[in-house]
Structure 1
């Protein structure tokens, strides 16, 4: 307000215009001045003063809607507007600062909903029933001023996007962005088909009045708007859910009450979860906007903390489970798939899909939606994703999704045409690497990238032989399978190809040289030198040495200190090329460094990137030196139809932007260290945990039956994985003996996620005893 109205001014105005002799108490308000008036007989009134910017037309609409309700069956639940001495409901006040409008309303008794700590299911039901009766009563009401574009109208929730940058917490900004993305995809296409009405639009916890179990009143029509009818219920549910033990059950009770009074449609119920999230996003972005503007109005932040807590809880709730609870409240049939309904799908998969395409878990999962570190199935269950490192910055990260959407709606073609995205991404990608690695080639998968890297090394060295680590895995192409002992030595494999040579897996836990040996890195590296010597003895050179800079399939193993420094010296002295496979470990996952090879203080000649670079989009890359790129430019064109296309490049740019702007490398270090420390505490309690290892959010826990013999705990580890799945945590196994818990979650994984995982893992390991 540009004019501060004093207590004495209000007393004088009430006397002059309304003939009231009253005492005055100032009240809080969002954007109007509010006062409690009381006369000598104890009668109370509410005085509201609005700036001219509120508009006489809209203030008239507020008067009209309250007059309309005063003649309805729900009249006693709403205030009435007093007329002034001239018989009008609005009193114009001309002050030095401008024009103001004064209203005096009757007082409604009761306690604010938000003033009570607990609310029974009966009270929640009554809230819905009260609102349903009100909305039914207002079915015939309309006013031109209510047809407005208003930022507190849930139908315009996407307006909140422009305020997302004001949210300082990366995690909170990401969650709000995610829900606004879902609002765009789940709600916007259906808005035009929903019932519309004149609604109150703000049944918040300090506008709803209760007496005992009854809801006795609703105040403040300053947010009213003509919009989707279901928005009124969504807002009431939002505020009722704040600070509750079971927010979905709370909302379901409100829905049931509303539906009993004024039946909902199935489409309205289906959108309710996303409308509630939309309202919360409006609230938190408005609070962030006000904070950025240094507002000192406490009313601007009254629900901020509770709204964030609810948003964080909401994203962990399967939307299908929420919808099902609301459907049951209305008596609609469930849309959840019952147990054991996958037989037909499994049969069709077997019929039409290659038989050797495996499925995780004994009881397969049908995942229908992803939300950052969460996955939702078709039965209403939520899973914390602890293993899908492909979704590096989180499932459906809003920044990445929008970048992909915008580019694919504009253009997608090949690299034979000029396009800024190709050069821009290459420039930004190489800026994260040592200066020697300056030339990029883009492909569609890590397998294809590894294939290309080997091809380039053979052009450069004129040799064919490649050294790999035992148990390594580098992809599914013919060349990559030939580099992967995990495949060619396994079931169905054809054995080691002639030009592939296996070096010892440098395993500090169960290998020949262990943690206690400070020279272990050099000793394991000596095996590579021995292979090179054998090749030289038979008149052969070495084209390349390739290894992951932390071993994935090999057992989630960090390389021994100094290992790659020694190996790279041996390989280069023999004229070979050093290839770092960063497909699983790059882009900040290891926390201490952006790239895994940096942990070893080396610079490879070729780096292979995949998986995380596109956050699940089929994008991979080979980055190399100018010398190797020049050698590869031998007259034969390198062309990849989809490699480097504008959509893939826009995706890669967005992923890098998110990693950097959301400080994900630092987050991986903090959460990873916390996770590793928690696993070490479990190891002290449970002898089955033989070793805990990793960097950042690349973590392995090796399970053994005996810490002396190191006998692998199989099938115990499979029991652990299945039981963790049943408790909502998706893990997997790795390692030559299949006894290592693989933990490589999306980088948005939190300490809170860690705590819940560790607690459940502890319980399961106790059960195993």
Structure 2
């Protein structure tokens, strides 16, 4: 019998946060999350981390969200609530094991993936601009932020793409395997030089179409929040923009026009060096390759984890479409005004 029940979540919320609320379990692959509705109607999420997570890893997420709330309040991200003792993260005995527990605001809205297909061309273009601006604020808000765990060796860090290349032999589709090899092996040898020449900072590292929350009410849809800081790490500043593009472009008949709108929105909030812009196309291709390689690994190690494959059709299709596009085409309108 599962001891992590809704009644358990309600008891934890009341004892440690003084919150009287009704709980409802939320779907999650490894953590246990509960939606809490307070007596006044306010909604929260109680998150009980899987025992494999370290205190430092979860504290990194919390501190990044707290920094963004203070520096970029217009961005929107889950607000972390201190417990009665003032701590933002508690180690509690739950169901016979220690769980790291925290309380966040519930972020209302629909995901980018849910909304984008419902929009006409004008509203879609507005959302592309808003996405770029939101990710620009994300970059700007985390600039200078430090945390001991941010230097962790994260599998989804593009700096470590070469380690994912071992999955190539397990990629069954020969044509796709050749495409991934071509772009990943072109990217990886440049990483040492980029470590010297490109800005590096703490990143969200996962602004994908299911972590971007959209307010679609009204005439102009906008990104209202970015959630899920579980992949936060130190990497190339450029990577968050590349990641956002890699997922948003999958929905478009004209991915280059979409990318330019996202980049324009981003640059309105956060300037990039000319050499960063010049590398953006390669970074987008690298993230697509990384997604395919990581999904290939998940297929071997976690065959029941359907979430790992949720974006794969779009990722593979976009990789094929962008493969033979000249690297400067995407950013050509912005290069003249950029400076190194």
Confirm or deny a common fold (TM above 0.5): yes
Alignment of 1:458-469 (within 5 A): none
1:297 positional shift: 2.5
Would you say the 8 A contact 2:4–2:95 is kept in 1?
no
CA-to-aligned-CA distance 1:148-200 (integer Å, 9 cap, x gap) = 21111112112210112222211222211111111124555323211011111
Match of 1:127 in 2: 131
Judging changes above 3 Å, is the alpha-carbon distance between structure 1 residues 110 and 54 closer, same or farther for their aligned structure 2 residues?
Answer: same
In structure 1, distance between residues paired with 2:184 and 2:139:
27
3-state DSSP of counterpart to 1:120: helix
In structure 1, distance between residues paired with 2:176 and 2:206:
24
Judging changes above 3 Å, is the alpha-carbon distance between structure 1 residues 166 and 22 closer, same or farther for their aligned structure 2 residues?
Answer: farther
Judging changes above 3 Å, is the alpha-carbon distance between structure 1 residues 294 and 208 closer, same or farther for their aligned structure 2 residues?
Answer: closer
Alignment of 1:422-571 (within 5 A): none
In structure 2, distance between residues paired with 1:167 and 1:196:
31
Judging changes above 3 Å, is the alpha-carbon distance between structure 1 residues 141 and 105 closer, same or farther for their aligned structure 2 residues?
Answer: same
RMSD: 2.1
Correspondent of 2:298 among 290, 299, 306:
290
3-state DSSP of counterpart to 2:172: coil
Aligned length: 328
1:229 positional shift: 0.4
1:328 aligns with 2:301: no
Residue segments in structure 2 that go unaligned for 5+ positions in a row: none
In structure 2, distance between residues paired with 1:155 and 1:101:
29
Match of 1:272 in 2: 280
In structure 2, distance between residues paired with 1:202 and 1:139:
16
3-state DSSP of counterpart to 2:71: coil
1:332 positional shift: 4.3
Judging changes above 3 Å, is the alpha-carbon distance between structure 1 residues 161 and 97 closer, same or farther for their aligned structure 2 residues?
Answer: farther
Greater C-alpha Rg:
1
CA-to-aligned-CA distance 1:372-393 (integer Å, 9 cap, x gap) = xxxxxxxxxxxxxxxxxxxxxx
Would you say the 8 A contact 2:75–2:137 is kept in 1?
no
Match of 1:261 in 2: 269
TM-score when scaled to structure 2?
Answer: 0.89
CA-to-aligned-CA distance 1:656-683 (integer Å, 9 cap, x gap) = xxxxxxxxxxxxxxxxxxxxxxxxxxxx
Judging changes above 3 Å, is the alpha-carbon distance between structure 1 residues 157 and 229 closer, same or farther for their aligned structure 2 residues?
Answer: same
Match of 1:17 in 2: 16
Match of 1:245 in 2: 253
- The structure that is helix-richer by fraction is 2
1:34 positional shift: 2.5
Would you say the 8 A contact 1:28–1:299 is kept in 2?
no
1:123 positional shift: 1.1
Match of 1:60 in 2: 59
1:275 positional shift: 1.0
1:311 positional shift: 1.3
Would you say the 8 A contact 1:111–1:209 is kept in 2?
yes
Alignment of 1:685-764 (within 5 A): none
Match of 1:675 in 2: none
In structure 1, distance between residues paired with 2:86 and 2:19:
15
1:96 positional shift: 5.5
Match of 2:325 in 1: 318
TM-score when scaled to structure 1?
Answer: 0.41
In structure 2, distance between residues paired with 1:36 and 1:299:
20
Residue segments in structure 1 that go unaligned for 5+ positions in a row: 334-769
Would you say the 8 A contact 2:75–2:134 is kept in 1?
no
In structure 2, distance between residues paired with 1:160 and 1:55:
23
Alignment of 1:610-621 (within 5 A): none
3-state DSSP of counterpart to 2:256: helix
Judging changes above 3 Å, is the alpha-carbon distance between structure 1 residues 249 and 76 closer, same or farther for their aligned structure 2 residues?
Answer: closer
Alignment of 1:185-224 (within 5 A): 185-212=189-216, 213-224=221-232
In structure 2, distance between residues paired with 1:242 and 1:304:
10
CA-to-aligned-CA distance 1:396-424 (integer Å, 9 cap, x gap) = xxxxxxxxxxxxxxxxxxxxxxxxxxxxx
